[in-house]
């Protein structure tokens, strides 16, 4: 946003953003050898197709591949997806990647709810096979609202959908949150999602996020704006946090595959945890409004009537009987977290030569004006 700070026209974001230095094609033989150890003797697996994807998600590497093997006297094949922890040299968004944690979350969500998730197949903690820990799940076909360029910029299937279709997508996605949050005894069923530490589940969540920020700042990219955000949160802490639920974490429409404007697969569980139900609802709404602010700055129409806070909160209340509270706080918290994401992805763009490091680190934050408005 350097141009914006100087009063010059702001250039639209790039249409592609590099995520990884890995060569997906080089993984075929390694996947074959790994499958040979996972499948029954004599399966003779082959991996004839491997490709990386430029789909949404700025953290774990996603590799699509087709596998074939012998089973029951015949040859069968499956279209699969491998999610790999990123290479440490590629400026990962998070300080660590527990692929087993993500795998177990997906597995339990599949068992405990009707939320559509890809069928989890295998999880591999040994990095010697592909160079990183990974898990494999079935591939699901569907449409994803794009991040690059953002779906609300005017050239996406969702932007051109009718108001009724957009509302069906919105309400059905809020319905995913309602189902996840209805899991009884989340802290008992998902103990591995407890971030640990002291205090309430919200306190542990924010402390975990603060540690995430310190990891990002270790590279010399301290953000005065993000640090002001943490101070704001302490000054406006909710008086009543409510019981903890399973929090999807990265609860936004860009992490969902849709068919006929309803979820076909809920993806990306890296940020899953335990905490107040408002975490997911505020994140979902705020994620859209990050893109809305960008659209306004670029002189685009956007989708101002989509995922309005009062609409999403009303739908959530009608589905759960629970009234979301303290949403100003939770949206501010989402904005602080987005600041950390933008710090890391901005540094990654610098790493891959897609931009130069600005003089003011806070210019890496694409939502800088929105966060400044919240804190003022």
Do 156 and 97 share a structural domain? no
What pLDDT is attached to residue 3?
A: 39
What pLDDT is attached to residue 23?
A: 74
Instruction: Determine how many CB atoms are found less than 10 A away from the CB of residue 196.
Output: 7
The number of folded domains in the chain is: 2
Residue 60 has pLDDT above 50, yes or no: yes
Residues near 194 by beta carbon (within 8 Å), at least 6 away in sequence = 187, 201, 204, 273, 274
What pLDDT is attached to residue 262?
A: 98
Instruction: Determine how many CB atoms are found less than 10 A away from the CB of residue 261.
Output: 20
On whether residue 120 sits in a domain, the answer given is yes
How deeply is 23 buried, as exposed, middle or buried, from its count of CB atoms within 10 A (0-12, 13-18, 19+)?
exposed
Say if strands 273-275 and 245-247 run parallel, antiparallel, or are unpaired: antiparallel
The domain that holds 42 is classified in CATH as: 3.30.200.20
Do 154 and 88 share a structural domain? no
What pLDDT is attached to residue 58?
A: 53
Do 253 and 170 share a structural domain? yes
CA dist 183 → 129, 201, 247, 344 (Å): 35, 16, 11, 33
Marked catalytic residue, from 104, 250, 293, 363:
250
Residue 168 has pLDDT above 80, yes or no: yes
The helix (H) or strand (E) run that includes residue 50 is: strand 46-52
Nearest-5° angle of CA 265, CA 271, CA 277? 85
Domain containing residue 109: 24-53+57-138
What is residue 32's DSSP assignment? H
**Residue indicated by tokens 């101002």:** 304
Say if strands 74-84 and 61-71 run parallel, antiparallel, or are unpaired: antiparallel
Last residue of a domain, one of 75, 109, 138: 138
pLDDT tens digit sequence for 124-163: 999 999 999 999 999 999 999 999 899 999 999 999 999 9
pTM score of the predicted model: 0.91
Residue 11 has pLDDT above 90, yes or no: no
Confidence class of residue 59 from pLDDT cuts 50, 70 and 90? low
Report the range of poorest mean pLDDT among 56-60, 236-240, 301-305, 356-360.
Answer: 56-60
On whether residue 227 sits in a domain, the answer given is yes
Active site residue 184: no
The helix (H) or strand (E) run that includes residue 107 is: helix 99-112
Do 184 and 307 share a structural domain? yes
Do 103 and 164 share a structural domain? no
Last residue of a domain, one of 106, 138, 170: 138
Confidence class of residue 20 from pLDDT cuts 50, 70 and 90? very low
Mean pLDDT value of segment 40-51: 94
What is residue 111's DSSP assignment? H
């Amino acid at each position: 946003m350097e141009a914006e700070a100087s009063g010059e026209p702001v250039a639209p974001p790039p249409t592609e953003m590099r995520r990884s230095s890995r060569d997906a094609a080089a993984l075929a033989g390694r996947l074959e050898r790994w499958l040979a150890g996972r499948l029954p003797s004599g399966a003779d697996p082959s991996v004839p197709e491997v490709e990386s994807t430029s789909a949404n998600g700025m953290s774990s590497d996603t590799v699509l591949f087709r596998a074939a093997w012998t089973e029951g006297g015949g040859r069968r094949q499956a279209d699969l997806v491998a999610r790999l922890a990123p290479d440490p040299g590629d400026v990962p968004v998070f300080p660590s990647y527990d692929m087993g944690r993500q795998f177990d979350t997906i597995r339990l969500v599949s068992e405990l709810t009707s939320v559509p998730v890809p069928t989890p197949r295998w999880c591999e903690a040994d990095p010697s096979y592909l160079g990183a820990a990974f898990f494999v799940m079935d591939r699901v076909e569907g449409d994803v609202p794009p991040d690059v360029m953002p779906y609300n910029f005017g050239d996406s299937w969702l932007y051109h959908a009718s108001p009724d279709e957009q509302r069906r997508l919105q309400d059905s996605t809020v319905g995913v949150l309602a189902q996840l949050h209805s899991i009884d005894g989340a802290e008992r069923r998902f103990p591995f999602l407890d971030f640990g530490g002291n205090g309430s589940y919200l306190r542990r969540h924010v402390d975990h996020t603060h540690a995430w920020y310190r990891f990002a700042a270790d590279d010399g990219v301290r953000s005065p704006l993000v640090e002001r955000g943490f101070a704001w949160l302490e000054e406006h802490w909710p008086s009543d946090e409510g019981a903890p639920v399973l929090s999807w974490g990265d609860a936004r429409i860009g992490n969902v595959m849709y068919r006929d404007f309803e979820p076909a697969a809920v993806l990306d569980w890296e940020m899953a945890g335990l905490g107040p139900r408002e975490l997911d609802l505020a994140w979902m709404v705020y994620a859209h409004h990050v893109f809305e602010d960008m659209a306004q700055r670029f002189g685009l129409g956007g989708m101002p009537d989509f995922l309005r806070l009062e609409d999403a909160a009303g739908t959530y209340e009608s589905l759960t009987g629970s009234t979301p509270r303290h949403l100003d706080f939770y949206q501010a918290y989402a904005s602080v977290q987005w600041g950390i994401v933008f710090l890391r992805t901005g540094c990654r763009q610098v790493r891959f030569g897609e931009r130069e490091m600005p003089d003011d680190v806070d210019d890496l934050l694409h939502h800088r004006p929105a966060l400044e408005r919240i804190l003022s």
